[in-house]
Amino acid sequence: MDSKDEGSALCSSPVYVHNPHLDALKEDILYHFSLGTETHNLQDMFGDVKFVCVGGSPWRMKAFTEYIAAELGMEDPQSEYPNICAGTDRYAMYKVGPVLSVSHGMGIPSIAIMLHELIKLLYHAKCTDVTIIRIGTSGGVGLEPGTVVVTKQSVDPTFQPRFEQVILGKTVVRNTDLDQSLAEDLLQCNKELNQFKTVVGNTMCTLDFYEGQARLDGAFCSYTEKDKQEYLNKAQEAGVCNIEMESSVFAAMCKLSGLRAAVVCVTLLDRLKGDQLGSSHEVLHSYQQRPQILVGYYIKKQLNAKAAKDS
Ligand code: URA
């Protein structure tokens, strides 16, 4: 290793796990990915990963892979971007160069399980300096549908910036801070792109799409329209710009593992004006592309800057 390499290795930031029991495992089976440390050479497969993008739907993450491959000039006309987790239907995973794209399903439990295995995967693969971004959809609070929200803080349904995990019957409170410099970089990218409105604000993370998000159109509802409006107005006063179901555990787990993390969600509707997703499929589809476009621009800019520095 020459002194330049040694210097950069010293500055590089690893992915952390905090679990002494892992060392005792002969093999670590990443069951929901259908991958393992004995059956796969994770360092060969994933060691070059620098960006991880996660989103709810497998279809959307495949579309993101195709999009980013074209943006980075890394399309492979011979290959259909195989799903790396093909042995399971739990999550889908695709890779193009240094960009990994993984689906996480809906809600905190689903994304938490995926993140445990993803963080271990990045750790076993000895990845360094990884940036992770959730690209998703949300309900807006007082925003024009189609606005993109870069999350400042993920807050719980009482508007507190925290995530509660019950471990051995005891509630452990975890911090939900996200990387503020990454959020600023993304906002700067949006200025340069100049294609759609993007704001920075708090994101409320709930356990449910209906009662948990004060909707009036679930199977059960025990509150009035006035109660709903009062609650959403209070959320807005607390700086909440949008509502979704994954950001709190995402922020908490990424912080624990030393990953530079951001949440970028488009709003599909304004919850101050309604509950149902009534826009046409085409309109919703075009909104869903916005986080992909912004994050794709950011990744390309970072890779171009690194290539210029290295040359
Ligand atoms: N996702 C959510 O969690 N809520 C919405 O209103 C829209 C998308």
- b/e map 178-193, b = 16+ CB within 10 Å: bbeebbebbeebbeee
Question: Which runs of E-coded beta strand occur in the chain?
Answer: 29-30, 35-36, 51-55, 93-96, 99-103, 131-140, 148-155, 162-167, 170-175, 198-205, 240-244, 260-270
Q: Is the dihedral of CA 186, 163, 146, 199 positive or negative?
A: negative
The pLDDT profile of the chain, 311 residues, written as one tens digit per residue, is 333 344 444 568 999 999 999 999 999 999 999 999 999 999 999 999 999 999 999 999 999 999 999 999 999 887 789 999 998 999 999 999 999 999 999 999 999 999 999 999 999 999 999 999 999 999 999 999 999 999 999 999 999 999 999 999 999 999 999 999 999 999 999 999 999 999 999 999 999 999 999 999 999 999 999 999 999 999 999 999 999 999 999 999 999 999 999 999 999 999 999 999 989 999 999 999 999 999 999 999 999 999 999 99
Token pair recorded at residue 272: 């101050």
Instruction: Tell me how far the alpha carbon of residue 242 lies from the centroid of ligand 1, in angstroms.
Output: 8
Residue to probe by mutation, ligand 1, list 134, 135, 137, 288, most atoms within 8 Å of CB: 137
- b/e map 226-263, b = 16+ CB within 10 Å: eebeeebeebbeebbbbbbbbbbbbbbbbbebebbbbb
Residues 198/190, Cβ–Cβ less than 8 Å:
yes
Residue to probe by mutation, ligand 1, list 149, 217, 243, most atoms within 8 Å of CB: 243
pTM, two decimal places: 0.95
Ligand 1, pocket residues at CB < 6 Å: 137-139, 209, 213, 243-245, 268
Instruction: Tell me how far the alpha carbon of residue 208 lies from the centroid of ligand 1, in angstroms.
Output: 9
Atom of ligand 1 nearest to the CA of 271: 6
Atom of ligand 1 nearest to the CA of 137: 8
Determine the pLDDT at residue 78.
Answer: 78
Atom of ligand 1 nearest to the CA of 139: 6
Token pair recorded at residue 236: 């807005």
Say which residues have a Cβ less than 8 Å from residue 196's Cβ, sequence separation at least 6. 146, 147, 148, 190, 290, 293
- Residue 137, annotated ligand binder? yes
Q: Whose CA is nearest to atom 6 of ligand 1?
A: 139
Instruction: Tell me how far the alpha carbon of residue 138 lies from the centroid of ligand 1, in angstroms.
Output: 4
- Residue 260, annotated ligand binder? no
**Helices vs. strands in the chain: H and E counts, helices first:** 8, 12
Determine the pLDDT at residue 80.
Answer: 85
- Residue 215, annotated ligand binder? yes
Determine the pLDDT at residue 3.
Answer: 37
Token pair recorded at residue 75: 């399309």
Write down all domains in the chain, each with its CATH number in brackets: 19-129 (3.40.50.1580), 136-311 (3.40.50.1580)
Instruction: Tell me how far the alpha carbon of residue 80 lies from the centroid of ligand 1, in angstroms.
Output: 30
The neighbour count for residue 141, using CB atoms within 10 Å, is 24
Residues 64/135, Cβ–Cβ less than 8 Å:
yes
Q: Whose CA is nearest to atom 5 of ligand 1?
A: 139
Determine the pLDDT at residue 5.
Answer: 40
Say which residues have a Cβ less than 8 Å from residue 200's Cβ, sequence separation at least 6. 149, 150, 151, 152, 183, 187
- Residue 113, annotated ligand binder? no
Atom of ligand 1 nearest to the CA of 275: 6
Instruction: Tell me how far the alpha carbon of residue 292 lies from the centroid of ligand 1, in angstroms.
Output: 17
Instruction: Tell me how far the alpha carbon of residue 267 lies from the centroid of ligand 1, in angstroms.
Output: 8
- Residue 213, annotated ligand binder? yes
Determine the pLDDT at residue 77.
Answer: 80
Residue 4: half-sphere exposure toward Cβ, Cα within 13 Å? 2
The neighbour count for residue 122, using CB atoms within 10 Å, is 25
The C-alpha atoms of residue 263 and residue 132 are separated, in whole angstroms, by 9
Token pair recorded at residue 167: 């471990």
Burial status of residue 125 (CB atoms within 10 A of its CB: 0-12, 13-18, 19 or more) = buried
Instruction: Tell me how far the alpha carbon of residue 302 lies from the centroid of ligand 1, in angstroms.
Output: 30
